[in-house]
Amino acid sequence: MFNIYKTSNKPNDPFIIGKIGSAHGILGMVKLFSFTENKNDIFKYYPWFTKKENQWIILDLEYKKNNKNFFLIKIKNIKNRNQAKELTHCHIIIEKKTLPILKKNEYYWNDLINFKIISDTGSYLGKIDKFLQTKSNDILVIKNYGKNMGKQEILIPFIENEVIKNVDIINKTITVHWNPIFE
């Protein structure tokens, strides 16, 4: 591991804004996938942290290049492909306080993870596990461990007022107009 990056500082209120993909080339570059709404906004928030083998690490960006579906980045002091491979699948984490303050009834996707999903007919559908981004709309990935439903995922498009009827931040629930096959 890169001892020069280890830090005793842990980010306050860690917030994931991206993920490092595979190594690219021989000079230590990696692919970067941004989870921010505007992909370029990931570069507005610093410092970047990641966690590897229970150690917090500060990542210092040296170079970036925009690609079609991801960025190519170079982290300072990463000299070769083998060092870059050690960062594969690490999350890019910032302190949540560096994000813009939200208006009333606004939220970050990350805040909705583990919210309960209830259909507008009153059926419990599961909890939000993650989000998928598509060209047309974002998708809620619901993990469902109900007795009669078996272990399965439900994919629900995040289309406000059509599918997403209510987001209740206080009770951590989202009401959806959705009728899965098992319902």
The per-residue pLDDT for 133 is 79
- The mean pLDDT value for 157-172 works out to 93
Domain 3-98: what homologous superfamily? RimM (2.40.30.60)
Domain 111-176: what homologous superfamily? PRC-barrel domain (2.30.30.240)
The per-residue pLDDT for 183 is 44
What residues does each domain of the chain span? 3-98, 111-176
- The mean pLDDT value for 45-49 works out to 93
Mean pLDDT of the chain: 87
DSSP letter string, the chain: --GGGB-SPPPSSEEEEEEEEEEETTTTEEEEEE-SSSGGGGGGS--EEEEETTEEEEE-EEEEEE-SSSEEEEETT--SHHHHHTTTTPEEEEEGGGSPPPPTT---HHHHTT-EEEETTS-EEEEEEEEEE-SS-EEEEEEE--TTT-SEEEEEE--BTTTEEEEETTTTEEEE----TT-
The per-residue pLDDT for 108 is 85
